Structure 1
Amino acid sequence: MMRQTLHEDWLLSAADGPVPAEIAGRTVPAQVPGSAHVDLLAADLISDPYLDTVETDLAWAHRTSWRYTLTFQADAPEAGERVDLAFDGLDTVATVHLNGHRLGSTANMHRAYRFDVREALRGGANELTVDFSPALDYAERERERLGHRPHTNTHPYNMVRKMACSFGWDWGPDLQTAGIWKPVRLERWRGARITGVRPLVTVDEQGTGRIEAHVGVERAAADGAATAVTARAAGREVRIDVPEGADEAVAVIEVPDAELWWPAGYGGQPLYDLDLALADAWGTELDRAHRRIGFRTVAVDTAPDEIGARFTVTVNGRSIAVKGANWIPDDHFLTRITRDRLVRRVDQALGAHMNMLRVWGGGIYETDDFYDVCDERGVLVWQDFALACAAYPEEEPLAAEFEAEARENVARLSSHPSLAVWNGGNENLWGFADWGWPEELQGRTWGAHYYYELFPRIVAEVDPTRPYVDGSPCSPGFGPGELHPNDPDHGCRHEWEVWNNVDYTTYRDIVPRFCSEFGFQGPPTWATLTTWIHDEPLAPTSPAFLLHQKANDGNGKLHRGMQGHLPVPADFADWHWATQLNQARAITFGVEHFRSWWPRTAGTLVWQLNDCWPVTSWAAVDGDERPKPLYYALRHAYAPRLLTFQPREGRTALIAVNDTDEAWHGHVHLQRQGFDGAVHEAAKIELAVAARSVARFDPAEPLLAPADPSKELLLAATDDTRTVHLFGEDVDLAYDPEPLSAVAAAVPEGYRVDVRARSFARDVAVLADRAAGDAEADDMLVPMLAGETRSFTVRTAARIDPAQLTGPQVLRCANSLSQQTAGTA
């Protein structure tokens, strides 16, 4: 097999549409893999789409056709030689020509395409052309042909197999990319080639690992001779003959005492190399492939119990307390996402004690780099099929496209031990149940065939080593109308009444079996916000800020979400801090509640870990990769050992969560003390919490009965874990509005900020990015008791006046906000 990568010297031009005069007729260098927007930006023909209101200025691109052209050198095909042109991904509606020969058309960015070019290829210079027509035009034509299907967007994204959020979302821009978004190459081969590898990896009860490697084979001629596949792994080798006419070989390797792969926090992540070679009858190697595999079993326990039905992920037979987040594409322009960027993001997830990421159905099937990084770090992946918040037609050609992309991606991802769950899609079952779809559909198809028949069948056929669930949310085992898909007592649940309609304290009204989506908004960090938005004055209602707030009534929900907790400050800098703080508070409240109910609630996936551009959103890490206060809140709330005060049976209980393999023994010291540090009541509780379990402790009544609720707190502390319970909301508490003093000094890695509290200070934070764009504090949202000191490390390469790090816009806490009068920021 000889592979010639075709990534250099492409050219891009606008072929048709409402193209601005300064772009019409121009030809610019094109990056492949890439997209038209990225190329126009590189050529200085457009401003950055993420800047201010530029997104709106680029709406013309929705209706524009693009042409990619390449002249490349190649040898003419020889007798008996196969030559294929392989595209790993085209975004989206494309027609491919080589030397004037039409090779074919595509309408699915989630698939790879391969064309036999023996008739079209010539020796010397070859002209390759890929024409992209607007995906929006295609989708609208399909809507007219098949009839309207409900969805949650301005555009009918459900009529074309393109990343749904490319058409905009409530956290993403509407830019509708087009381009050759994955690698392209010319492949020359003789005899036979490997078409795909599906390693089905299991472990038996005796610890013997089994690799069942399914190797697809294509022959250059219909009467091709017999071949053989050799598979090597873990020091073992197996050779399998592939008889004439066969298109698959199955090589089985057994590995006694295989080292098991575990999620982060449960063990190590040993990976084994699987090498495969295809040879002809004379032993000449024709093709080879390589995969990395890990030995483990994975399942989702949905057995009925006295409450309803469980939804517990198990790995190697052990129940896993899932702590994680939802994942969206990390940049709207997908080809700018590098492996290094993915490493940084997954490491941030691990830094917040997460062990699962859910690849959401409105995005893409991620690149191999993403799953490789998760394999290496022990982050489980919940993988949606690429459908979200819409009814999808079951007619052709969509039906065939869904089957092709599902088969391809289930096979492609089968080697990754991190991949734990296949899920039918996002909120489509819920939409049919609750969003008025049956009336809109009037009997038209909506996707039930995919969720209940096609996808489970494909997973069972192509990769039976992994579980499949019908959707998120869903009640496994129940079809349409049998049980509500968002039933809290069965399966996985999405909790969106908080954020949309009710106060975040109502998280405690429901104890789900698994919460796969819940979230609360906050703006990006100050450095990210002010890099991309330049309104004068900058305000929640200024034009560019509003364009970067995509949620329906987003600012209204931000303001209402603070009611009863924090005021709505009139000053924008204070408003920015208050909304970020309230986001962190809301999610902490939910996570601690859900974790306190383990194992009844077996997991939480916060919406969302990351952003794809600079935006006010639910993310913990913003579009410029900076952690928001929410990130630090998640790090605390997802800690392996957690103390949290929760209501139980009409009183306040202390819940100790031990998500480690070691029993937790010691003492909890309880104090009811004033904000001034005076201790009014104290007690000591013997702490005994078994491994991977939760225990309840009931503080004595005097600890729960403050003389002045506005000036007292309840502290629970072990040697290395503590929590603070307040007897009222911030707006009702008599905080010292300026409780902190601090000094900062340079240290080798940046700066150290030494903070002292003269009175109780809630949620102390060093918002270091306000001093330097690359500055990042090691911790945030720390409660400090009267008389305590705490050092924060700020890592930065910038030279900063240390006084900036102790100034009122950088060193913050909740106290000053609670003393303000609500305004209309």
Structure 2
Amino acid sequence: KIFHEVIPDAVKKYATSDKQIYWESSPSIGWGHQESLTEGDSHYWGVWWGEQPFEIYNEKVPRFASEYGFQGMPTLETTKSMFSGNPDLSLQNATIKAHEKHSRGWEIIENYMKRDYKVPTDFVKYNYVSQLLQARGMQIAIEAHRRAKPYNMGTLYWQLNDCWPVVSWSSIDYSGNWKALHYQVKRSFENQVILVEEKDEILTFYAINDQAQKFDDVFVEIEVINFQGKVLDEITTVPNGKILEEIVQFDPIEIQNLVPNSNKNEVFLKLTLKDTNGKIIAESNYFFAKPKDLKLTKSNLKIRKISATEIEISTDVLAKDVYLIGDTHFSDNFFDLLPKTSKRITLSKQLEKIEVMSLFDTMN
């Protein structure tokens, strides 16, 4: 009665402008009801609680996704802080186990990990892949929601931060360190992005614009590149009509016209959104296979010191999900470094030594 009568009646009586502003509950309709995807706001927990695959996010798109999430481990630095003495970094350690309060949390994480990644036995690598797994799931969700604009006009993942050092749904851990998820969220929520939808062996491309300045005659350059850096094909696709001024859909492309089935796990697409002046608006990479199925090769990652708080990292072949390890904040982390490219990274404080690994190191 309080929520459905007392409060809304008071709002209608005393509100000076919008008398319909009150919303009695969130979610407005519980998870599992079809109406939760067609009206109001939705807390979709088919992923994690329902243990459905991440790809279900592409189908279960509500009007306003006000809660969804997946757990990941905190950073190594925060994991070490769980111990009063020397840290024993082991998944079997009682202290680490105690910092996961979901009764089936470890089991659920591992089940999802087996679907998409090779499960490492080394703790540091497991911690890394756990973070990648969480980031991958939320990337699929956020980008499905953004592609669905204007049907979906809001997406809030659960959750931002933590109240203690714990395995949780957060993107920033208890110590304030960014997990892989937070770096990915920053990329997925860029004001201007180029996104891909794969369905029935057809790729559809979407340019999303959440800036005040409108898109003006944009197109997408698509490069098919193998993991050694060889460009196998180049295609340009143009808009097939504006859905809104803030979202542009491009001509779809059949996958078989880009990549034979035999080497889907050996190539990726480099997507570049440009305007008619050739200015780059947004870039992204698209992989056809799950991370565990990618035929990655060992990269020769090199780190060069530019200054006390700036480095440059380079590679000869594709380095997937580059992970810079150190007790500092890196301006970017858990990123793909394309063949024969380099990237400059700033540090919040100077480090004597920076360790680095990539997804390849977890697969062998």
TM-score (norm 1): 0.40
What is the aligned partner in structure 2 of residue 714 from structure 1? 269
Deviations 1:696-737 (A, max 9, x none): 431365224455122111111131411111121121111013
Q: Give the match for residue 758 of structure 1.
A: 316
Select 1:504's aligned residue among 54, 74, 91.
Answer: 54
One-letter identity of the residue aligned with 2:298: P
Counterpart contact for 2:238–2:250, Cα < 8 Å: no
Q: 2:174 aligns with which of 623, 631, 640?
A: 623
Q: Where do residues 66-85 of structure 1 align in structure 2 (5 Å cutoff)? A: none
Does structure 1 residue 454 correspond to structure 2 residue 6?
yes
Shift in Å at residue 558 of structure 1? Answer: 0.9
- Equivalent pair of 2:237/2:250 in contact (CA under 8 Å): no
Residues 77-114 of structure 1: per-residue CA shift (max 9 Å, x gap): xxxxxxxxxxxxxxxxxxxxxxxxxxxxxxxxxxxxxx
CA distance in 2, matches of 1:639, 1:698: 23
Work out the CA distance in 2 between the residues paired with 1:814 and 1:486: 40
Q: Is the 8 A contact 1:661 1:692 kept in 2?
A: no
Secondary structure of 1:592's partner? Answer: helix
From 476, 496, 516, the equivalent of 2:66 is 516
Contact 1:486 1:493 in 2 (8 A): no
Map 1:273-288 to 2 at 5 A: none
Alignment match, 2:155: 604
The 1-side partners of 2:16 and 2:73 are apart by 42
Tell me, in whole angstroms, the C-alpha distance in 2 between the residues paired with 1:660 and 1:743.
Answer: 35
User: Within the alignment, does 1:746 sit opposite 2:315 as a pair?
Assistant: no
Q: Report the counterpart of residue 187 of structure 2 in structure 1.
A: 636
C-alpha separation in 2, matches of 1:486 and 1:525: 38
Q: Which runs of 5+ in 2 are unaligned?
A: 274-279
Equivalent AA in structure 1 for residue 132 of structure 2: L
Q: State the partner residue of 1:27.
A: none
Structure 1 residues 458 and 648: CA distance shift in structure 2, 3 A: farther
| Residues 485 and 533 of structure 1: CA distance in aligned 2, closer, same or farther (over 3 Å) | farther
What is the identity, as a one-letter code, of the residue corresponding to 1:577?
Y
Q: What is the alpha-carbon distance in structure 2 between the residues aligned to residue 733 and residue 543 of structure 1?
A: 34
Is 1:784 matched up with 2:337?
yes
In structure 2, C-alpha distance between the alignment counterparts of 1:542 and 1:762, rounded to whole Å: 30
Name the CA distance, whole Å, in 1 between partners of 2:318 and 2:261.
16
Residue 693 of structure 1: how far off its partner (Å): 2.6
Specify whether residues 667 and 614 from structure 1 end up closer, same or farther in structure 2 by C-alpha distance, changes over 3 A only: same
Q: Which amino acid aligns with 1:504?
A: F
2:206 touches 2:247 (CA, 8 Å); kept in 1?
Answer: no
**In 1, distance between residues paired with 2:12 and 2:300?**
60
| AA in 2 matched with 1:524 | P
SS at match of 1:560: helix
Aligned mates of 2:123, 2:11 — CA distance in 1: 50
Q: Tell me, yes or no, if structure 1 residue 813 matches structure 2 residue 353.
A: no
For 1:465 and 1:612, the matched residues in 2 are separated by: 38
5+ residue gaps, structure 1: 1-448, 770-774, 821-825
Matches within 5 A, 1:273-422: none
Aligned length: 349
What is the deviation of 1:559? Answer: 0.6
Residue of structure 2 in register with 1:586 after alignment: 137
Deviation at 1:519, TM superposition (A): 0.4
CA distance in 1, matches of 2:91, 2:334: 24
* CA 1:812–1:524: 2 relative to 1, 3 Å: same
Encode CA deviations 1:583-625: one digit per residue, 9 max, x unaligned: 1111011100111000111110100112112111111111122
Distance 1:734 1:532, change over 3 A: same
- Whichever structure has more strand as a proportion of its residues is 1
Q: 1:564 to 1:737 in 2, by over 3 A?
A: farther
Aligned match of 1:676:
228
8 Å Cα contact 1:766/1:780 also seen in 2: yes
Matches within 5 A, 1:137-176: none
Distance 1:457 1:484 in 2: 28
Question: What are the Cα deviations for residues 181-215 of structure 1, in whole angstroms up to 9, with x where unaligned?
Answer: xxxxxxxxxxxxxxxxxxxxxxxxxxxxxxxxxxx
Equivalents in 1 of 2:186, 2:323: separation in Å?
Answer: 14
1:732 to 293, 302, 312: 293
Larger radius of gyration: 1
Identity %: 23
What is the one-letter code of the residue matched to 1:506?
I
Instruction: Work out the CA distance in 2 between the residues paired with 1:696 and 1:767.
Output: 39
Residue deviations 1:743-783, cap 9 Å, x none? Answer: 23433xxx2221112111222232332xxxxx101112322
Q: What are the superposed Cα offsets for residues 460-489 of structure 1, whole Å, 9 maximum, x if unpaired?
A: 3454546121211114xxxx9xx9496211
Tell whether the 8 Å contact from 2:220 to 2:272 is kept in structure 1 after alignment: yes
| Deviations 1:627-650, CA, capped at 9 Å, x for gaps | 211111100001111111112465
CA contact (8 A) 2:329 2:347 kept: yes
Q: Is 2:241 the partner of 1:695?
A: no
Instruction: Summarize the Cα distance change of 1:677–1:554 in structure 2 as closer, same or farther, 3 Å threshold.
Output: same
8 Å CA contact retained: 1:598, 1:694 = no
RMSD: 2.3
Write the distance in 2 (CA, Å) between the matches of 1:706 and 1:670: 18
